Amino acid sequence: MLIAGFMFITAWSASAQDADTSWISLFNGESLDGWKASEYPASFAVEEGTIVAHGERAHLFYVATTDFTNFHFKADVRTASRANSGIYFGNYIT
């Protein structure tokens, strides 16, 4: 069983070309809008403002509406012993 909590997920652009240096919240605390499960979407839910994963191995991806370049990423994460989890960065074409 995988248990992971993502209570506060944000990205901050530090690009010299980007005049706006404010944090952008990637999770609204209420739903998985803007997120896509690669398989087993039932493994993910939002509980008490937190993304929670239970069940089959699955990956949850943020579907970016903004190009992030030279950014800082911050997340509060909790996982259980022996859980298989991680945070990945990359450019993906869907």
Instruction: Output 7 or 68, whichever has higher pLDDT.
Output: 68
Torsion of CA 22, 64, 54, 48, to 10 degrees: 40
Q: Annotate the chain with three-state secondary structure.
A: CCCEEEEEEEEEECCCCCCCCCEEECCCCCCCCCEEECCCHHHEEEECCEEEECCCCCCEEECCCCCCCCEEEEEEEEECCCCCCCCCCCCCCC
Q: How confident is the model at residue 93 (pLDDT cuts 50, 70, 90)?
A: low
Specify the pTM. 0.68
pLDDT (0 to 100) of residue 1 = 39
Instruction: Output the average pLDDT for the chain.
Output: 76
pLDDT (0 to 100) of residue 65 = 78
